[in-house]
Amino acid sequence: MLLRKKLIGLLIGLFVSSSIGLAQQELIKKPMNQWTRADAEAILNDSVWVSKQELRLRYDQQRQVAAGSYTPNAGVTDTTAANAQTNVSSDIPIDFVFTVRLRSALPVREAMSRLKQLQADTRMSEKERATFDAQVRGLLDCPACADNYVISLSSKSKNSPGADAVFSTFKGGRLSDLQRYVYIANDKGERRALIHFVPPKAPGEEAIFFFPRLDDKGAPLLTTQSRELSINLTDNQANSITNFKFDVSKLIVDGKVEF
């Protein structure tokens, strides 16, 4: 009886997942300007280009040092060193939902651009509209995406509103330090090293990571024969950010990996 219930649950899960996938495949065939807010938010929050994980973190100190921040003898001012730290509560563990988005994927860029369009002030002047349209076009075109895989990471707390583990971890991050453990890999173990990093400037903002598409021989990390994409964000320390995996077969659109 228990086995039967598990099988039924598995079949229902597969059916729901398949239905969502088919709906998204139909959605991305529509012109972006026809997307509703709900359409765009579905791509950004519940699509195959997004992965979420829940993690409970306990902070042992009131001052949490950010990744790549300064040591007491680093030769910087006290103010600079203090800015690389953040206050956190150590009373109770904090439950976080971490979200990774494959930001260089065209559907994700379209969803971000569409939301920006829908949030636009209709009372803008012609000059303001031209500037706004250029910003949206830059977000959609993403020149850096041509040569790089780009991912973003964000977090929200379920039991401590305002707490942001991504901001506290990466706001003072330095590229040279993050390169020691942040990378992406395929199922063959081939990797791409981190080459650029944009830290969040305020709680609620994303950390953005850039990885080269091609290796020294001009081969991409992912092809239609690839099975899995792994994103490594942990530094093997307690309370570190978790890692993520994507099924590459679900990222294929019109015969190519859309990332």
What is the full DSSP assignment across 38-53?
HHHHHHHHHSTTEEEE
What 8-state DSSP symbol labels residue 218?
A: S
pLDDT digits (tens, 9 = 90+) for 209-228: 999 999 999 999 999 999 99
**pLDDT averaged over every residue in the chain:** 83
> So where are the chain's domains?
24-257
Stretch 90-99: mean pLDDT: 78
Q: How far apart are CA 222 and CA 214, in angstroms?
A: 9
Largest alpha-carbon pair distance within the chain?
67
Q: Which of 117, 112, 121, 118 is nearest to 139 (CA)?
A: 112
Q: What are the tens digits of pLDDT across the range 35-69?
A: 999 999 999 999 999 999 988 876 443 444 444 44
Helix/strand/coil for 96: strand
Partners of residue 192 on adjacent β-strands: 184
Residue pair 96/88 in contact (Cβ under 8 Å)? The answer is no
Please tell me the distance from the alpha carbon of residue 50 to that of residue 99, in angstroms, as a whole number: 7
**pLDDT of 97:** 92
What confidence tens digit (pLDDT) does each residue in 114-168 have?
Answer: 999 998 877 888 899 899 999 999 999 999 999 999 999 999 988 888 889 999 8
**d(Cα 192, Cα 182) in Å, to the nearest integer?**
9
- Position 59 scores a pLDDT of 46
Question: Would you state the structure tokens that stand for residue 25, as one six-digit string?
Answer: 């495949």
Q: Residue 19 pLDDT more than 50?
A: no
Q: Residue type for 195, please?
A: I
The amino acid at 241: I
